[in-house]
Chains A and B, each alone.
Chain A
Amino acid sequence: MSKPEITVIDYGIGNLFSVQGALEHCGANVRMSSSAADIVDAERLLLPGVGAFADGMQGLRNRGLIEPLLRFAATGRPLLGICLGMQMLATASEEFGEHEGLGLIPGRVKQVPARTVTGESHKIPHIGWSEISPAPGADWSGTMLQDTAAGTPVYLVHSFHLVPDSPAHLLADCGYGGHRVTAAVCSGAILGAQFHPEKSGKEGLKMLSAFLRL
């Protein structure tokens, strides 16, 4: 069987190397690219990223990658955004002002509440392992979570999260201080993970393997 192909978008932000290492560990043939043609032609695409939303969008814009990304998404081939890469799928973000996103998942990127539901302050950024659950009505089959059990812990590090306009796009969430925080979103073949599957141990590798089979 030939190796699954995946193109990882290199747009000058974040740590591509751990994503690449994890994908290769899962048996993928990984191409890192910042070329518009590679993106449009990709079999499947991964948009990584850590850092600030505006910087991420600027990184894509400066390299002329927004239009190719949207064209790719329209083909219905699998696209996975991780962390900031997931947040950029949204319509807009409230991080350090108002910023326009890719608009692939209607919704807004909002701050993780700085207080628990009972009003106590808790740690921001939210760093650590949280158990993910299917959002109400969400179906994990046919997604990167298809082999994942509800309650599986994943590694998150973030201060913002994507709140989809439609609950139908919310795939998984996790609890933080009594709030439900978005862990994964999905619209057709477009997937986003707030957590880092490449840093979530064996369970995370399982998710990447599942994505490589979509």
Chain B
Amino acid sequence: MTNVRLIARLDVKGPNLIKGVHLEGLRIIGDPQEYARRYYEQGADELIYIDIVASLYGRNNLMDIVQHAARDVFVPMTVGGGIRSSDDVRDLLRAGADKGAINTAVVKRPELISEVSRRFGSQCMVLSIEAKSRDDGRWEVYTDCGRERSGIDAVEWARRGIELGAGEILLTSIDREGTRKGFDAALTRAVASAVTVPVVASGGYGEARHLAEVVSAGADAVAFADALHYNRTTMSQLREVARAQSIPVRQG
């Protein structure tokens, strides 16, 4: 089995690292640079930055933050929030990002997925899906950081995104995000079994067994946010938690 990637996710608003519940009720955590450096030093396999209000206001604050991080952080960085064009992706790559994560803009205009993947390679095009469960046992895609319904089925959207050229899926469960109740394993399983590209599960880590649950559901990588930000655990402890449950992770 391939090593499961353990990723630190940093949601930012303006100059601040923030954290919410269900992508709402945001609280300021601190300086994103300081946290990014800490997670890198602790052995994070990757970092994900999401500017959580960029879509809403039509701008992107991340450039500065990413540029700073790139001086100290030498693991891959995925950056999203407010990307509207392949030129936006180019700018983020120039700032030091490795991949662009896009949700709202590709729901509005799916061809953007092909444009980005043709221009920079599919590995740069991360399809960000924020999904919420429906009463019928399926999941609906939300845009604008969990605020707007799209009417689109998350699993079908994942499949279509891959056809269009997405190289990875960042899958955030709005229901579980910030709750510490565990990842949405059913959602992860449904998406991971529908696509051939890696799936990053995000939202809900509370305790050790949650990691095993989401990995056995098919997650190739797992993102952690408030568990790290509030010092409930560290990247090195998460690595131990994984090993203790026979989940292969990077050595060292």
Contact = CB atoms under 8 A, between A and B. Distances in A.
Task: Name the prevailing secondary structure of the A interface residues.
Answer: mixed
B252 to A, nearest CB: 7
Given A123-B2, A129-B5, A202-B74, A21 B252 contact: no
Contact of A17 (B45, B75, B94, B167): B94
A140 interface: no
Contact of B167 (A114, A121, A125): A125
A131 B40 CA distance: 19
Contacts of A139: none
Interface residues of A, number: 39
Contacts of B70: 17-18, 21
Interface residues of B, number: 31
A128 B220 contact: yes
Contacts of B121: 50-52
Contacts of A15: 93-94, 96, 98
Nearest to A154: B250
B2 A17 contact: no
Contacts of B220: 123, 127-128
Nearest to A176: B2
A196 B43 CA distance: 16
B76 A155 contact: yes
B73 to A, nearest CB: 9
A121 B196 contact: yes
A21 B5 contact: no
Given A15-B98, A124-B197, A128-B220, A151 B251 contact: yes
Interface string A47-64: 000111000000000000
Contacts of B168: 125, 127
A54 B40 CA distance: 34
A171 B220 CA distance: 28
B232 to A, nearest CB: 24
A159 B124 CA distance: 13
B20 interface: no
A203 interface: yes
Contacts of A201: 40, 43, 74-75
Q: Report whether over half of chain B's contact residues are helix, strand or loop; otherwise say mixed.
A: loop
A128 B197 contact: no
A25 interface: yes
Contact of A25 (B74, B93, B122): B74
Contacts of B109: none
A133 to B, nearest CB: 13
A1 B83 CA distance: 44
Nearest to A18: B96
Nearest to B71: A21
A200 interface: yes
A148 B113 CA distance: 38
A128 B198 contact: yes
A34 interface: no
Given A18-B98, A51-B120, A125-B123, 16 more contacts: A17-B94, A17-B96, A18-B74, A22-B74, A25-B74, A114-B196, A123-B197, A127-B198, A128-B5, A128-B198, A129-B250, A130-B2, A153-B251, A153-B252, A199-B76, A201-B74
Q: Which 8 A/B pairs are nearest by Cβ-Cβ distance?
A: A129-B250, A51-B121, A153-B250, A157-B123, A15-B93, A199-B76, A129-B3, A123-B198
